[in-house]
Amino acid sequence: MSNAPGTTEEDAEYKKICENHKHLIETLPKCNGWWTPHLHNYNGFWLTPDILKANLLLHTYFKSHPTDIFLASFMKSGTTWLKALVFSTLNRDSYTFSDHYLHKHNPHSAFSPLDAETYPITDFTNSLTPRLFSTHFARTMLPACMSSCKFVYVCRDPKDVLISLWHFMNKIRSKDVPPLSLDEAFELFCLGVSDYGPFWEQVLSYWRASLEYPDKILFLKYEDMKKEPEVVVRKLAAFVGKPVTVEEEEKGVVREIVKLCSFENLSNLEVNKEGFEKFGRLVNIEKREFFRKGVIGDWKNYLTKEMKERIDGITAQKFKGSGLVFTATG
């Protein structure tokens, strides 16, 4: 479909979606939102009204291609950095490091955000192959047609996710309402109430799928990316079907990709300091808001010992028996 009025049949189908959406908003459990008035619990996950509608549209209209690549994450888990790494690794034959796409464009612009779709849904027919998409939806919230596609997923210590999410949401929260306090954000997060949350269930949806389909889902940890970025780039290259060659190793291509996509480099580019990044037709966010600190363990500057122990306790309980372990960050 395209961004033009659909056929009468398509419009009738869309009307049904709107009616269903209205019914869901009226009947689903709801709770206070972080940047919107409310979040609604749909199939076990908390979504804003617009994101819930986008999910309904996705299931109705989206048609995947076997070559599609999806980048998935929980919010504030290193999404911007991973987008830069995936794009530059996949397209390393198309640009030089002195004149690169990322010098002139924010990393988010290289991926189509599935979570921001409105009607008529975007026409991806003429997109370059492989088509690149991004999402924060849990694996279980996505259409079955995507099961044949490749996913790159990144997770992060929930304590750092919480702090980064709290800062970010207060930046995009309406100035007509008071800022969200850390205590309130902490309590909501621990209860699982945050956009696309609960955090733990969202992470586990991809972790379990990666164990079952390791050739389809590459599961990464932000902390490992920070410690060994070159190792991650080599993993990405092999996963997307473009393994790093001996010649590229000798030329230092991996090192150049890591340097290009580093927080220090990306955050200092003019293109990432000014203007807005548009997500579908729903949200405009200042580009600079995607670059805060990019460090491990910033939670230590905000959380009390009791707060840390509560989140660590929830994480241990939720992940028990799954085989998923987070490296301690303090």
The SS3 assignment for 5 reads coil
Of 53, 46, 66, 307, the residue nearest 201 (C-alpha): 46
Of 166, 171, 201, 172, the residue nearest 185 (C-alpha): 166
For residues 9 and 189, what is the distance between their CA atoms, to the nearest angstrom? 41
Of 23, 45, 21, 47, the residue nearest 34 (C-alpha): 47
For residues 41 and 47, what is the distance between their CA atoms, to the nearest angstrom? 6
Buried b (16+ CB within 10 A) or exposed e, 170-194: beebeeeeeebebeebbebbbebbb
Assess contact for 217 and 153: CB atoms under 8 A: yes
Any idea which residues carry the catalytic annotation? 136
pLDDT computed for residue 277 by the predictor = 52
pLDDT tens digit sequence for 156-181: 999 999 999 998 888 888 777 788 99
pLDDT tens digit sequence for 240-270: 999 999 999 999 999 999 998 887 877 766 6
pLDDT computed for residue 282 by the predictor = 54
Q: Which amino acid is at 2?
A: S
pLDDT computed for residue 108 by the predictor = 80
For residues 125 and 73, the model is more confident at 73
Buried b (16+ CB within 10 A) or exposed e, 213-240: eeebbbbbbbbebbeebeebbbbbbebb
H or E stretch including 246? helix 246-251
pLDDT tens digit sequence for 264-310: 877 766 665 665 555 444 555 554 444 455 678 899 999 999 999 99
pLDDT computed for residue 291 by the predictor = 46
pLDDT tens digit sequence for 196-242: 999 999 999 999 999 999 999 999 999 999 999 999 999 999 999 99
